[in-house]
């Protein structure tokens, strides 16, 4: 089975530089890459974008913008300005979309955070239109509701995107964050029917995780019904790449070449009939 329908996030192989990611993902046969901003520090994004294209990789997203919430209005304004810079960086890189981790501020209620997120995204719309770069709201798992995102379900993300209702604002759906939703199939359909199903991230959820952030599983190591969710994505008409995004101290400590081969094997074994 070909790996052309799979992309890898640079954070997945965090010990590697962007050049190493590009070279190794392409050699392994992956179809695409999503670039985390830390790998671009000190680099010309346009040159990095050309290098990705020359390697034959599709560039899915720049990761990540967002973090719109703050008690202090000046901090919220600064966050919006930072996101404008992210959009310009994405445009220079040639990334069609920016993934948004929307933010949450301890001490604020979920609805207060959500109102600030909506305000932040709406303030970006002129820059979105100018650059043509899409914004992809990524709902996060509720265990991050206090300090990373008040958008904690695909249901929430669909509601927010419907409120903003802009053709360049959609959703990045990560199975880690939303697999537990009882109406997930319906929410995927709803998202796709509205033309907002921008991106699809895969990894796995290990119930006895050792770290709330950096102990995510390689596909197959956990409990997410990956194949069923993939069937729902295909049925909803999603035809983009499935992006492997795994935060894992354990995997980052391993040989990254061997790890990338395990990722490739997991993609093949779990999703093989979709080839």
Judged by the rule CB under 8 A, the positions of this chain that interact with a copy of itself are 106-107, 109-111, 114, 141-147, 150, 152, 156, 179-182, 184, 205, 207-209, 212, 222-223, 225, 228
89/156 with CB nearer a copy of itself? 156
Pick the closer one to a copy of itself by CB: 106 or 195.
Answer: 106
DSSP letter at 108? S
Q: How far is the CB of 123 from a copy of itself (least distance, A)?
A: 21
Of 126 and 212, the one with the shorter C-beta distance to a copy of itself is 212
The residues with which 33 forms a beta bridge, in sequence order, are 8, 59
State the minimum distance, in angstroms, from the CB of residue 211 to a copy of itself.
9
Nearer to a copy of itself, 65 or 217 (CB): 217
Name the minimum Å distance from CB 226 to a copy of itself.
12
When computed from its CA atoms, the radius of gyration of the chain, rounded to whole angstroms, is 18
Neighbour tally for 54: CB within 10 Å:
10
DSSP assignment string, 213-273? TTBPBPTTSS---HHHHHHHHHHTT--S-EEE---BHHHHTS-HHHHHHHHHHHHHHHHGG
**How far is CA 249 from its chain centroid?**
19
Q: How far is the CB of 71 from a copy of itself (least distance, A)?
A: 14
């Amino acid at each position: 089975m070909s790996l052309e329908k799979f992309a890898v996030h640079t954070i997945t192989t965090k010990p590697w530089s962007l050049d190493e990611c590009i070279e190794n993902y392409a050699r392994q046969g992956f179809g695409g890459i999503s670039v985390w901003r830390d790998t671009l520090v000190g680099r010309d994004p346009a040159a990095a974008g050309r290098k990705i294209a020359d390697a034959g990789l599709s560039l899915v997203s720049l990761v990540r913008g967002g973090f719109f919430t703050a008690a202090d209005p000046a901090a919220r304004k600064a966050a919006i300005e930072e996101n404008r810079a992210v959009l310009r960086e994405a445009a220079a890189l040639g990334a069609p979309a920016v993934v948004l981790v929307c933010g949450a501020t301890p001490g604020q209620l979920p609805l207060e955070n959500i109102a600030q997120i909506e305000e932040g995204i709406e303030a970006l719309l002129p820059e979105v239109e100018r650059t043509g770069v899409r914004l992809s709201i990524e709902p996060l798992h509720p265990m991050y509701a206090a300090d990373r995102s008040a958008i904690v379900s695909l249901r929430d993300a669909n509601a927010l995107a419907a409120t903003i209702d802009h053709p360049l604002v959609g959703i990045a759906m990560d199975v880690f964050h939303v697999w537990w939703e009882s109406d997930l199939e319906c929410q995927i359909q709803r998202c796709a029917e509205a033309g907002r199903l921008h991106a699809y991230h895969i990894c796995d959820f290990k119930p006895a995780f050792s770290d709330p952030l950096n102990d995510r599983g390689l596909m197959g190591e956990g409990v997410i019904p990956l194949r069923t969710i993939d069937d729902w994505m295909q049925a909803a008409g999603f035809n983009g790449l499935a992006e492997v995004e795994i935060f894992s101290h354990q995997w980052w400590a391993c040989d990254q070449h061997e790890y990338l081969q395990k990722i490739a094997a997991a993609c093949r074994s779990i999703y093989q009939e979709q080839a």
